[in-house]
Chain A
């Protein structure tokens, strides 16, 4: 970490944990059609790190992310993000919390088709009813320059390549200086060149802005960009790897499948 240029380390809570889950379960359906997507997950996501959640299809990784990000409510258990316990919030409060404290990058359909790139990036600020002040303008300029999308600001999503669209989505996730950024298969729809770019930006946002980033992915290449990797299977965390290499990841995943 050569340049911790960000003056503000948004995810720094007292214990240095950006998000925490305790005994998290999520069950869909009832009776014969009951599916247990999460079966008691405990985890701490340290602030200022780039964490990847890996697992095969149906392992529950997207459900875990949705619960951590306040997009979905767990059946039981606790989620704390930036010191705020999410189950205590009603829908409106939760929505505002997402708006002000969480950033999102999705696999596809990240941007509103009728807005320009710039409007999309500023949407969360717009929604909160805040005006663009000097510090947000500064943040906006920083983020836009780091992501190299300044020339594309006036374009609509349909006029951008897949990689450019994801970069705009990352810019939107970063511009509000959220406690945590969740990225759900951000490279799922991209070619390898664009994928590398996007992953590099996510890592740089962590390094250069001190941003906490959590990424869900099933690609080993993608996960290898992360500082920490949690391996999920059948709704439970099976492994926790720090600064993994491709090899350690492969063996960890094989262990899960076996």
Chain B
């Protein structure tokens, strides 16, 4: 039997190509993730210790700038040295470039300086800063330049490299300077030296002090945990890809063995036992499993290391290290590849033993490959469907995520089980709709596509998995985006405001409106008042409120005042406040929550008229265009604000940040699911290719009867389009349904306004279009093969 196994492998190698690719891609995927995991850990843990170089102790859990200042002063008073790790995010103006930049601390003490000086000199006096190598390039700044950070001038005296440190900033200033950015300064920890632990705890009892070694070790452990968690999440996508691979493998094997029925029957005729046949085909599967897993390992190493190298050279700031994949990853990936292949081939190989020796007597090529969906299958499918539907209904009713996941899996499995009943009618319908366009070619393609319902269903189900998940994610994310939008309409009702304690100049409105990206602006009149003794400007509502882009429910009504968080906090959240201007006083109620309308308190027009007859413009509200580059817009507005002696209040970056994060997340998830879709397309190509072999005689007949090569190719392309299209349409439908359930269960509980389902029609249409185009690609090789069929081939038995 070994001769037979080896000969079969040799003869049919090309037909196994889909199974081979599916396994190899899956295994390569695992190794790539292993490489990313290893390099992330290596890079991040290596850099973790760098900023603590030269220190003996580390103080952490220090959050207030004042506390940090106390510690630094205490250490220096005791003859030690201290510095602060952290950064402040402040607007930058450097020549033509605007935008936010970060400024960290460079230690006064030479031993605690963790940055490498690349050019120029260390800052010696306040007002001097270093620029980071990368930031120098991107902002076109070099030593000797003057930059404005947070509205203050700084001389750039040197260029520094952060190496692999995780705490790098765009600029580094002395603690004396950086500590003045009290509002935006975020403190990570304080490296210290030449001091005892007790000296710190006495001045800052909240601080956690430990030896540098311990702190770095803890940091590294935390990074490793983080990387492992991320890796686990990525492995979910590996599971999806491998599930699809298993479907493709099972389908490929069952088609292959169906085609070899007469060979196998012949073996049985000449005396092979069932067990021998089964062993032989399973050995074949095992050989494929091993070979493709090895290729997958090699491809994974190549791809994984390649990806890491590309990320390292393009985005050095990410801080990836060497991609040394641990041996365990190789062992696991190999084992998973082999097990998935052998397991997927299990049922098809078992089916070969049911082939009777008599099958050898049937003429080759005429074997009826028609299969139909059994009643048992329909019954099982219906039960699963009902169970899934019930669970999903419960999930929606009780906002239960576990029920949702369980119901989703049951529901989807039922669709796969019922595939042979659902998919062919769908394809027939599509064929009928497209019929007038495609003529006889289309009809032959439709008939071919549904000739074997089980095979059709399996082929499409591989693609169905990927398309369904992708659609669900796209719908879910877009609904989450809508929910966030809803929230941000309440939290950020205006995009930006200019405020000033003294009246704005007459041309202020025109200058703001001249900034590209500002759609609408309105000046607000006001007067300087005291609110329970706190002096502040107050403005009245504008007559025209069309500038407001969000929720108006937080606008102050009659006898109300919208106070910003800072003032409310200072006053201790009073029930009512007394507002006084030029001797007139009025009792006002603060609005329910703190004001989202900027730092200047807002009252209604009546209240303002009561407070003063001579109101002057003290604030300017504006609405901006979403399409404008955020950094440019904010930079331009900063410039206008500075020239008007006004302060810019902007929610543009925050709104943009949330939107960007959501779209990045969607892109990453869709990209990862793309691997499953890729494997499914390999499966479609394989089914078509194997069908072409099976239909050699039919294709020859068609050619004899007058089907041109082009028409024959077209039948294959149309068949692929129908298969991919059916999977895509069904997948988008189920995915949208799942997305809707997900939104009901997970998102709608969190937002106040009820339904937020947002169906991204464009994206869903794009999914269908991409699947269709990819289907056409999958049909390229099979259709070429089909078109090569000679018209005289296989027509005579001579």
Contacts and interface: CB of A to CB of B under 8 A. Distances in A.
Interface string B691-729: 000000110011111111111000000000000000000
B643 interface: no
Interface residues of A, number: 34
A106 B706 contact: no
A112 B366 contact: no
Contact of B698 (A98, A100, A112, A127): A112
A39 interface: no
Contacts of A104: 704-705
B790 A72 contact: yes
Contact of A95 (B363, B368, B708, B797): B708
A253 B257 CA distance: 45
Contact of B797 (A110, A128, A188): A188
Given A99-B707, A126-B440, 10 more contacts: A92-B710, A95-B706, A96-B708, A106-B795, A107-B797, A109-B697, A115-B447, A127-B707, A127-B711, A158-B368
Contacts of B797: 107-108, 188
A123 interface: yes
Nearest to A185: B796
A2 to B, nearest CB: 32
A134 interface: no
Interface string A54-89: 000100001000100101100000000000000000
A71 B789 CA distance: 11
B127 interface: no
Interface in A102-122: 104, 106-110, 112-115
A107 B796 contact: yes
A129 B792 contact: no
A112 B444 contact: yes
A112 B366 CA distance: 11
A184 interface: yes
Given A107-B797, A109-B697, A126 B439 contact: yes
A75 B241 CA distance: 52
Contacts of B365: 109
Contacts of A124: 705-706
Contacts of A71: 704, 790-792, 795
Contacts of B363: 108
Contacts of B702: 112
Given A114-B448, A115-B447, A123-B440, A109 B794 contact: yes
6 contacts: A62-B798, A71-B790, A72-B790, A95-B709, A95-B791, A108-B366
B705 A123 contact: yes
Contacts of B366: 108-109
B279 interface: no
A91 interface: yes
Contacts of B710: 92
A109 B368 contact: no
A108 B451 CA distance: 21
B705 A99 contact: yes
Given A71-B704, A114-B447, A114-B448, A129 B698 contact: no
Q: Which 3 A-B pairs have the closest CB atoms?
A: A99-B706, A114-B447, A71-B792
B428 to A, nearest CB: 12
Interface in A151-185: 158, 172, 184-185
Contact of A98 (B444, B447, B697, B706): B706
A202 to B, nearest CB: 17
Nearest to B703: A95
